[in-house]
Structure 1
Amino acid sequence: MSDVAAIQNLVEKRKRLKEEVSKIIIGQDIVVDQIILSIFSGGHALLVGVPGLAKTLMVNTIAQALGLDFKRIQFTPDLMPSDILGSEILDENRQFKFIKGPLFSNIILADEINRTPPKTQAALLEAMQERSVTISGHTYKLDLPYFVLATQNPIEQEGTYPLPEAQLDRFMFSILLQYPSFSEEVEVVKSTTSDHTKTINALFTAQEIIDFQHLIRRIPVADNVIEYAVTVVSKTRPDNAMSSDYIKNYLDWGAGPRASQNLILAAKAHAAFNGKFSPDIEDVKAVAPGILRHRIIKNYKADAEGITEETIINTLL
């Protein structure tokens, strides 16, 4: 199949995927879009939202529709790295045998990642970056495709270990979950308080998803689009000659080169999903908030004046 035909196939399959997910998930269109974008771009996502907004159900539904294995790990203050990676035990023949932990799956939901100590957070982040796990000197490869969706609760800060900036940078997208609208909430209550169950059909194989990930990487990008993405990221850095007084006033720290890479990868996927064979500046703008939100650090002045990351990113664009 040619790349042109493959992109047309991807447009059709993404449409069917969204229809399948909407059987269970009502509303949350932008959130579902960004999760699908990060999966097909080969990245990971951080989901920030208050409890009860169906984060687990959403990821489980998407995993079923993609035909992938799914595991949920509840992160707690006493969780150890071996609890998620697995451990070696002595079998009946007195040989060491590795028992795989829940991290060995295609889609991982790391629920409340900021509730666990840095040692366990670091074990998960190594798996995300290297797509492998090392136990007692042995390296075990993780099955591809591999996607981590971590959740964070924005309101409860007691007993949490916030992710350091370098670790936040490993996530391609930071996705904000909002409350549903009145009509959506009415629909949610109707569908979840009845006895009617809906079946989700698997639309993809693991190999198909890997092929689509390679297809997205093969999409050509014009130099001016790459230069635009790098310019946007450079302008988030207060010490950069290109950045405005507005940025110097309100930001302590800007985004690193990984933001530029992710902007282009996500723009390629965004273009492909819309049937385009090359991304343009509009595609970069469409994905920029989710990619830059967790990579810029506001100063006390921005906090005092109630200026959000969204405002800063929109001003920048």
Structure 2
Amino acid sequence: MTTAREIADTGAQILTAVRTVVVGMDDPLEIALASILAGGHVLFEDVPGLGKTLAARSLASALGLFFRRLQCTPDMLPGDVTGSYVYAPDSGEFVFRPGPIFTGLLLADEINRTTPKTQSAMLEAMAERQVTVEGNSFPLPAPFHVIATSNPIEFEGTYALPEAQLDRFMVRLSIGYPEAEGEAQILQNRVLRQEEATHVPSVVDAPRLAELQAAVEAIHVDQDITRYCVEIVRATRGAPQVEVGASPRGSLGLVLLGRALAALDGRDFVRPDDIKRIAVPVLAHRLTLTPQAWSQGASAADVVRSVIGQVAVPPTVRALG
């Protein structure tokens, strides 16, 4: 059985490999890796040009996963994602031709540029690791993960992700602009490469990743920690700025991602600080603010931070925090 120390060592190697080409994303990269180790999907939401696509491609390469990129557009159809039946002249029958979703890691680039009908084509795949076309179900490769990108500042020609779609993402991450030194390093790396293409070596392969994911399942979660997660999520439902709070899937996301973060830290148990660190990326995109809060400039992230400050850490695990 793979130990937490082994997960931490392997995780450090993966992040080191990715950071050879991705600069200034240390925290988002670690949380994205933890999300994959926890079996989840990742949404990067930020302005264009910050390296979201490069980060997804680099993670896929370091994890040894077959990678496909889907550039979302308004005219894209569900069959362009899942695949469809096509006529085979040789046999005189219709045969299923798999779409780009049949991969290890799918990058859905600018997912908010395609229509809700096409966005929903990914729901079954993200939740059940299968797609259904004309009544026939087809299993996806294992492991299977989706990393999507979204531009939050552009509204013309875009379609906001519905709550059901957002809820399928374990985390929503914002990268932000790099520091001056980091941006200079990006330029220097490009000059030294002398080409546009980047290369990240594989640290693990798909079977080894599956072993790491299975080992994360063995990380201990104290009952007081699970109760702490529940109290945080319940507090979002009662916040005055919130119209619809986080669902139980949010509570589950805190626990699952908390285990993965603990493993990446070499621990076989979850601490309250793990939950505090991931509360915003796990919960903020699951909240619907009231019109009054929205008009006053409030953000879901601020609500989650306020809730974290109000919910008491369980006394039996306070010392671990």
TM exceeds 0.5?
A: yes
Once the two structures are TM-superposed, the CA of residue 51 in structure 1 deviates from its matched residue by 0.6
Asked if 1 retains the 8 angstrom alpha-carbon contact of 2:233 and 2:251, the reply is yes
Partner of 2:315: none
1:154 aligns with 2:160: no
Which amino acid counterpart does residue 133 of structure 1 have in structure 2? V
Q: Deviations over 1:272-300 (max 9, x none)?
A: 11111110211111111110110112223
Give me the whole-angstrom Cα distance separating, in 1, the residues matched to 2:193 and 2:259.
42
Give me the whole-angstrom Cα distance separating, in 1, the residues matched to 2:126 and 2:78.
14
Give me the whole-angstrom Cα distance separating, in 2, the residues matched to 1:87 and 1:37.
33
Q: Identity of aligned pairs, percent? A: 37
Asked if 1 retains the 8 angstrom alpha-carbon contact of 2:31 and 2:261, the reply is no
Q: Deviations over 1:228-284 (max 9, x none)?
A: 00000001012xxxxxxxx22x22121000000110000111111111111021111
Which amino acid counterpart does residue 189 of structure 1 have in structure 2? L
How many positions carry a matched residue from both structures?
Answer: 305
Q: Deviations over 1:11-43 (max 9, x none)?
A: 111111111001101111111111101110001
Aligned 1:1-317 pairs, distance under 5 A: 1=1, 3=2, 6-91=3-88, 92-196=90-194, 199-238=199-238, 247-248=239-240, 250-317=241-308
Give me the whole-angstrom Cα distance separating, in 2, the residues matched to 1:29 and 1:207.
26
The alignment's TM-score, normalised by the length of structure 2, stands at 0.91
- Segment drifting more, 194-203 vs 121-130: 194-203
Once the two structures are TM-superposed, the CA of residue 170 in structure 1 deviates from its matched residue by 0.9
Give me the whole-angstrom Cα distance separating, in 1, the residues matched to 2:95 and 2:243.
49
Give me the whole-angstrom Cα distance separating, in 2, the residues matched to 1:294 and 1:148.
16
Give me the whole-angstrom Cα distance separating, in 1, the residues matched to 2:74 and 2:199.
35
Give me the whole-angstrom Cα distance separating, in 2, the residues matched to 1:100 and 1:311.
42
Which runs of 5 or more residues in structure 1 are unaligned?
Answer: 239-246
Once the two structures are TM-superposed, the CA of residue 195 in structure 1 deviates from its matched residue by 4.1
Partner of 2:313: none
Give me the whole-angstrom Cα distance separating, in 2, the residues matched to 1:276 and 1:9.
10
What secondary structure sits across from 1:294 in the alignment?
helix
Partner of 1:244: none
Once the two structures are TM-superposed, the CA of residue 62 in structure 1 deviates from its matched residue by 0.9
Once the two structures are TM-superposed, the CA of residue 136 in structure 1 deviates from its matched residue by 2.3
Give me the whole-angstrom Cα distance separating, in 2, the residues matched to 1:267 and 1:103.
28
Once the two structures are TM-superposed, the CA of residue 95 in structure 1 deviates from its matched residue by 2.4
Give me the whole-angstrom Cα distance separating, in 1, the residues matched to 2:193 and 2:145.
32
Asked if 1 retains the 8 angstrom alpha-carbon contact of 2:6 and 2:266, the reply is no
Give me the whole-angstrom Cα distance separating, in 1, the residues matched to 2:300 and 2:190.
34
Give me the whole-angstrom Cα distance separating, in 1, the residues matched to 2:85 and 2:298.
50
- Segment drifting more, 67-76 vs 275-284: 275-284
Give me the whole-angstrom Cα distance separating, in 2, the residues matched to 1:160 and 1:215.
40
What secondary structure sits across from 2:148 in the alignment?
strand
Give me the whole-angstrom Cα distance separating, in 2, the residues matched to 1:145 and 1:173.
18
Once the two structures are TM-superposed, the CA of residue 194 in structure 1 deviates from its matched residue by 4.2
CA gap of 1:221–1:160, structure 2 versus 1, over 3 A, is: same
CA gap of 1:206–1:294, structure 2 versus 1, over 3 A, is: same
Partner of 1:241: none
Which runs of 5 or more residues in structure 2 are unaligned?
Answer: 309-321
Give me the whole-angstrom Cα distance separating, in 2, the residues matched to 1:157 and 1:298.
19
Once the two structures are TM-superposed, the CA of residue 305 in structure 1 deviates from its matched residue by 3.3
Give me the whole-angstrom Cα distance separating, in 2, the residues matched to 1:310 and 1:183.
27
What secondary structure sits across from 2:286 in the alignment?
coil
